[in-house]
Homo-oligomer: A and B are copies of this chain.
Amino acid sequence: MSYFPSHGLLALLAKLELRTSFNNSDRDALLALPETVRTLRRHEFIARDQENVRDCCVLIAGFAIRHKVAGNGLRQIFSIHMKGDPVDLHNSMLGTADHNLQMVSDGRATFIPIDAIRELTLAFPTVGQAMWQETLVEAAIFREWTLNIGRRDARSRMAHLLCELAVRTEQADLGTAENFEMPMTQEELGDALTMTPIHVSRTLKILATDGLISREKRSIRILDRYALTKLGDFDSAYLRLTKDSDADELASVE
């Protein structure tokens, strides 16, 4: 048992409390989860397709990708993860992985035995529902990416991804929505957006020469957020960053 919860557990708690109201015993039980913090190197695997998964990994620092490789050798990235994301609830709750989780930068994470999470969710069903909702939101992100890859052209796809990362990095307190780190290579971006790295390069160049973004090393500055949002057909609703009750209040105010 950890007497001093890691930043990973604290970030996870904050994330879950965005959408669910906990009482003190819920909160204490979550923070009392047994955990082991580890540093992770770029390209290190957190979980591998088809292997058993015994721990749930919560990111503390750095970025990770969720991906799977098709029989023809082509890789598809399904989502990008950052601080506070319980990155393999999906794999660990089902016992065996059906995709890979891999770091794209150096980082740190805390590992929680999945059996402890199972017991926690049985003893504190409100925490269980909150975690369930968290995976539902991740499923919504998968759907939005499918729509993105399937139904938008290269520039829109790129704009949409940049908008999502802007919102999520700000949310995770890793930068502002106007200027944030994006430590992925263009090859990784290509596998997330279903383009060749060559076309990623050309597409980013177009966005920059059109004045929508500017690029430094591995970070992005958004120069025209309105235009980028419109080009990317982006609506952050699917990320569910507010409680439903908040949304209702907003709706009733309008």
A: residues with CB less than 8 A from B are: 50, 66, 68, 70-72, 74-76, 78, 90, 93-96, 98-99, 118, 121-123, 125-126, 128-129, 131-133, 135-140, 142-147, 149-152, 156, 194, 233, 237-238, 240, 244, 247
Contacts and interface: CB of A to CB of B under 8 A. Distances in A.
Given A142-B146, A146-B145, A194-B150, A136 B94 contact: yes
A155 to B, nearest CB: 12
Nearest to A145: B146
Nearest to A244: B95
A143 B140 contact: no
Given A72-B233, A96-B247, 17 more contacts: A70-B147, A71-B233, A72-B156, A74-B150, A76-B147, A90-B139, A98-B140, A98-B143, A98-B237, A98-B238, A121-B125, A122-B126, A128-B129, A132-B135, A135-B136, A146-B146, A151-B194
